[in-house]
Structures are given as structure tokens and as C-alpha cells.
Amino acid sequence: MSPPILLTRPADAPRQDLDAYRAAGGYEALRAAVAGDPGDVLRAVDESGLLGRGGAAFPAAVKWKLAAAQDAEVKHVVANGGEHEPGSEKDKFLVARYPHAVLEGMALCALATGATRGWVYLIEDMAEQIAAVEVALEEARAAGLVGERVLGSEFSFEVSIHRAPTTYVAGEESAAIDSIEGGPGKPKKKPPYPGEAGIHGQPTTVNNVETLAHVAWIVRNGPDAYRAIGTPDSPGTMLFTLGDRFVKPGVVEAPFGTTWRQLFEEHGGGLESGRAVRAIQPAMSCGFLTAEHLDVGIAHETLRPLGSSPGCGGIRVVEEGEDVLPVLVGIAQFFMDEQCGQCPPCRMETNQFAHVLKGVQAGKGGAGYAEPIRKVAAFARRKGHCSLIEMAAAPILSALDVFAEDLAAAAGA
């Protein structure tokens, strides 16, 4: 078992204050980086193979290089902690308990990309997380780690907390930028990408808070040490949220390559009900896996061919004997309620999914229930300002196969 990178303290430990973070090696990476070549930070992140932990697994260094290549007086870094996906608690846990790991990651990203402005992007009702970051920022400012001339160097970095509206789409990167600019927090059409033109048209790197929290460890220990953990194509560790169905619920850290069975049994203590796992959904917007996949190592390259992905690790489990219709209707309803209304194909798709699945649940689906689902998903694909269309379709399309018998029986097919 590899050592933890992020969750280095007992699960019930309070917020890691500046002294505790420093005692564990915190801010050593920043100290070395401000005295050295900022290009070294970018090289370390590139060589580490760090993938975004917000769900899409985009290589962090690709984004950072885009922002670094822009010629602009002001650039920004956004740490996205707007976690709103049902079943996912890892970002809230990380920000509340390890705020300095996020802040140091932001500062290193700013140094590497040439940014001077940072935003910790949280949701307005995240009182615990807002308070944790406020205190951490005060500590960091007093110690010269944030603000003018960080640690006496030429590098200055101002950080603010942004309180975003409580909506799912506000976590999407262009929606986050829109909210920071004072807008309603709705996704925008791309390109331009945030790295080219983000906040007020200035280059902006948006990363998930967990992605950023890996960075100081990578810079301190080197990319090879990071790559020694996890799998070749999914380096490092990942945070997972085990919900209340587990004997030991909570946020856990495990290296990529850990199997679902290990995660559920060794970390989660098994299911509270004692029933067997029938299906696994790595997160709300991911395709379903089945009990056959319990011994598959969790990694992007292993789950992609199975029509799924590790997502943001907000794990959902369907138990043997459980009625799947409420689960599927719940997913469809969530995406229908949370789509922002801007893109007609997204409105159409999410409404159609909910309509058809509610019909099936009511015994009125008939033999052709799957066809309108497949048709609308194929039509709407890639036609939105953001990827909510694909996120809503992944679980529902996979459910047509994984739960074909349940759906046919309910539909009266």
C-alpha cells in the first residue's frame, strides 16, 4: 500500500493549521519554487502525469502550459471546490480539513503559469469550508505565503474566496468564471478556453481543489515518486466518497489500481445491509459497472473500455434485490432539474430521459422504451456549451444494457 498523499491525518482530525501543515513538509515546495525556476514546477507536474480530479481527467500540465504561453498582464488560478454532485463529499472534506494543501497548490500553479490572482471557488452554503479557507488565508498572509512578494521573492499572489450560487452547473469551469465575473454562473461556449481567455478575458487556469492539492507533494517528492504510485496511465492516488450504505462511510484515499472490492471491503467495511453488490456507479455522471467488475483495478484506462470512468469518485452502489427504477428516475430527474436551460438539445435530452423512465416506472413504457432514449442521446451529443449532455447520457445509456431485464419487465415489454 502506498502512503497517503492527501489525507495524512486521522479521518476525524480537525483542520490542519499552518503549523501542522508546515511540520508535515508543507510550503517547502513553494519556498524552493520561488527561489528557483518556475519552469521546474511545470515540468514536474507534466512529468508526474497528474490528471484532473474534477471528473474529466484532463492532464493538468496541458492546461497549465496553455495559460503559461499567453502573454497577459493579469492571469488567474481558480481552485474549483464547487462540489455539487450527489454522493460526492471529497472536495468539501479536503477543503475543510486540508486548506493549506489547496492554497500551496494554487500558489505553485500561479507561479508556473504566471498568474497573480487566485480564487477559491466555493458554494455560498459551504460555511465550514469558507471558514476553513478564511482562517488558512489569514495564517498564510501573516506568514508571507500569500500576498505581495511571497517569501520575499518577486512573486506576488492575492487570493480571494468566491461564494457561488448553489447550482450544479455553477461548478463547470466557464460557469465558475461567469460567476466570478458577477454573472449568474452559467456555462459559456468554448473556444476560447479559460487558459486563453477566462476571467475578464484574462488567461485563467481552473483546476479542481483535489488536483491542486496533489501539486505540492509532486514538487516536493518529484514526479518519479508520484508515478511510482497508481498505474502507468493513472498516476497517484484519488479521493473516493463512500456513502452511508457502507459500514465505514466517509472520504478515503486510495492509489489508482485499487479494486472496487478492496475499496468497499478494506476501506468501507462492506455494505451495512450485508447484501451483495449488484452494480457500481463510480459517480452520478458515470456509466454503471456490474459485480463482474468488482476485481477491476480503478483507473481511467481500465474503466474507459467498460463505458465508465472513475469520475469524481462519489460512489453509488445498487444492491442485489434493490429496485433500480427509482435509482434511474432519480438520476434522470437530477439532470433535468440541474440543466441550466441555455441549450435546447440539453433541455430536450434531459426531459426526454426523465419522461421515458417515469413512463417505464409506471408500467407504460412498452417494448420500444429504449429507442427514444438512444435517439435523443445521439442527437444531443456534443451540442451543449458544457458536457452536461454527455454526463446525463452516460449513466442512462449504460443502464439500458446493465438493467435491460429490469427495465423490460417494468415497461411491460
Ligand X SMILES: Cc1cc2nc3c(=O)[nH]c(=O)nc-3n(C[C@H](O)[C@H](O)[C@H](O)COP(=O)(O)O)c2cc1C
Q: How many residues bind ligand X (CB under 6 A)?
A: 23
Q: Any contact of residue 268 with ligand X (CB under 6 A)?
A: no
Shortest reach from residue 75's CB to ligand X, in Å: 16
Shortest reach from residue 194's CB to ligand X, in Å: 9
Q: Any contact of residue 173 with ligand X (CB under 6 A)?
A: yes
Shortest reach from residue 56's CB to ligand X, in Å: 5
- The residue (of 325 and 350) whose beta carbon lies closer to ligand X is 350
Cell for 72? Answer: 497577459
Shortest reach from residue 312's CB to ligand X, in Å: 7
Shortest reach from residue 304's CB to ligand X, in Å: 16
- φ/ψ of 248, rounded to 5, equals -120, 80
User: What is the rounded radius of gyration, in angstroms, for the C-alpha atoms of the chain?
Assistant: 21
- The residue (of 187 and 223) whose beta carbon lies closer to ligand X is 187
Rounded to the nearest 10°, the torsion over CA 8, 44, 212, 35 is 90
Shortest reach from residue 22's CB to ligand X, in Å: 25
Cβ-proximal residues to 390 (8 Å cutoff; 6+ apart), any chain: 381, 382
CA-closest candidate to residue 56, choices 371, 367, 283, 275: 283
**For every residue of the chain, which 3-state class applies, written as one string?**
CCCCCCCCCCCCCCCCCHHHHHHCCCCHHHHHHHHCCHHHHHHHHHHHCCECCCCCCCEHHHHHHHHHHCCCCCCEEEEECCCCCCCCCHHHHHHHHCHHHHHHHHHHHHHHHCCCEEEEEEECCCHHHHHHHHHHHHHHHHCCCCECCHHHCCCCEEEEEEEECCCCHHHCHHHHHHHHCCCCCCCCCCCCCCCCCCHHHCCEEEEEHHHHHHHHHHHHHCHHHHHCCECCCCECEEEEEECCCECCCEEEEEECCCEHHHHHHHHCCCECCCCCEEEEECCCCCCCEEHHHCCCECCHHHHHHHCCCCCCCECEEEECCCCHHHHHHHHHHHHHHHCCCCCHHHHHHHHHHHHHHHHHHCCCCCCCCHHHHHHHHHHHCCCCCCCHHHHHHHHHHHHHHHCHHHHHHHHCC
Shortest reach from residue 291's CB to ligand X, in Å: 29
Tell me which residues in 391-410 interact with ligand X (CB under 6 A). 391
Shortest reach from residue 387's CB to ligand X, in Å: 4
Window of 151-159, 251-259, 292-300, 382-390 that interacts with ligand X by CB under 6 A: 382-390
- Indicate which single residue of 6, 45, 199, 206 sits in contact with ligand X (rule: CB under 6 A): 206
221/318 Cα distance (integer angstroms): 39
Window of 149-157, 203-211, 234-242, 367-375 that interacts with ligand X by CB under 6 A: 203-211
Shortest reach from residue 152's CB to ligand X, in Å: 30
Shortest reach from residue 139's CB to ligand X, in Å: 24
Window of 255-263, 299-307, 381-389, 403-411 that interacts with ligand X by CB under 6 A: 381-389
Window of 19-27, 66-74, 349-357, 384-392 that interacts with ligand X by CB under 6 A: 384-392
- Indicate which single residue of 388, 402, 407, 411 sits in contact with ligand X (rule: CB under 6 A): 388
- Indicate which single residue of 42, 108, 177, 386 sits in contact with ligand X (rule: CB under 6 A): 386
Q: Any contact of residue 342 with ligand X (CB under 6 A)?
A: no
- The residue (of 67 and 277) whose beta carbon lies closer to ligand X is 67
Q: Any contact of residue 387 with ligand X (CB under 6 A)?
A: yes
- The residue (of 198 and 268) whose beta carbon lies closer to ligand X is 198
Window of 206-214, 225-233, 251-259, 360-368 that interacts with ligand X by CB under 6 A: 206-214
Exposed/middle/buried for 240, CB within 10 Å: 0-12, 13-18, 19+?
A: buried
Q: Any contact of residue 207 with ligand X (CB under 6 A)?
A: yes
Shortest reach from residue 406's CB to ligand X, in Å: 27
Tell me which residues in 38-97 interact with ligand X (CB under 6 A). 52-56, 58, 80, 82-84
- Indicate which single residue of 102, 103, 109, 169 sits in contact with ligand X (rule: CB under 6 A): 169
Binding site for ligand X (CB under 6 A): 52-56, 58, 80, 82-84, 168-169, 171-173, 206-208, 211, 386-388, 391
